[in-house]
Amino acid sequence: MVQKLFLRDLLSNPEDTQLHMVSLTGEMGLGREIDSADINRPGLSLAGFFDHFAGNRIQVFGKGESAYIDSLSHNEAIESFKKFFSFKVFCTIFTHSKRPPDIFLELAEKNGTPVFVTDLTTASFIRLLHHVVSETHAPQKNIHGTLVDVFGLGVLIIGSSGVGKSEAALELIERGHRLIGDDIVNVKWVKESMLVGQGSKFIRHHMEIRGLGILNVTDVFGIGSVRNRKRIELVVKLELWDDDKEYERLGLSETHYNLLGMEVPYVLLPVRPGRNIPILIESAALNQRLKKMGVYSAQELDKRIQEWIKLERSDG
């Protein structure tokens, strides 16, 4: 599933990537779809060189382009702008709060080209724009589960309905960890090797607890108990204990869960009365953090045992 991104979306993008864009041409062209993160700096085109001009890209006018426009006489500016808008230009964005001349806006409106201005620097704007477009177009899917920040590690808790995912997460939150999303978690594959999860925007930071109903985690536990998004670094699956099934006891082998084509470290936890699942999830998160540092507890213990066996044999 890939989302679509339109120019109007850039005016109300998430709080962590504010582009500070204001439309100077009203509602015109805001329904145009952005299908690429590529941008174009039209300095050479303004000077009359249009070979390989990528008019279908977002045109960003930085300080250099604005300074060049200011240096033009009225007639030179009209001639330059007419040539520029003779191409089908997707949209134009002026950085550093530099507003284009009125004749530029007139020709833009005549040719149906949206014009925006932002107070960001050119470098900051291009970086944030690339981030917004890339994330929107990133492969993604909705997962039935609960995502919690446990000791700084994004832990995705999955399992069949009624197995206790939300109850375990609620206990983790009460123990000081933070909720990202419950019931429906939107997972995106960004930055080549990173999976990022966030809660549904409709039920974000709310939890359904059987017997209690809907809880607003922010209201009950405070703003420090939630966050909007988190990198997923561990998948924990809860399942009802099956006496006929052999569960992992040593942890010598590494298991993974395939999520959007990526292999994520995976732990299967059987659930039955008397098992403290939240503490087990905390322990799994801490153990995974150790593994990221190159410390594999089970393998090191196995190595010491093997060395002890060899030593006993040699002494015998």
Q: Which residues are catalytic, by number?
A: 144, 165, 183, 249
Under a CB-based contact definition with an 8 Å cutoff, are residues 270 and 246 in contact? no
The dihedral built from the CA positions of residue 20, 186, 153 and 261, taken in this order, carries a sign that is negative
The Cα 42–Cα 55 span in angstroms is: 9
Q: List 199's β-bridge partners, or say none.
A: 185
The structure tokens listed for 182 are 């419950």
How many angstroms separate the CA atoms of 135 and 186, rounded?
12
Shortest CA distance to 19 belongs to which of 161, 122, 165? 122
Q: Cα-Cα-Cα-Cα dihedral of 183, 189, 195, 196, to 10°?
A: -60
Please give the Cα distance from 235 to 258 (Å, whole number).
10
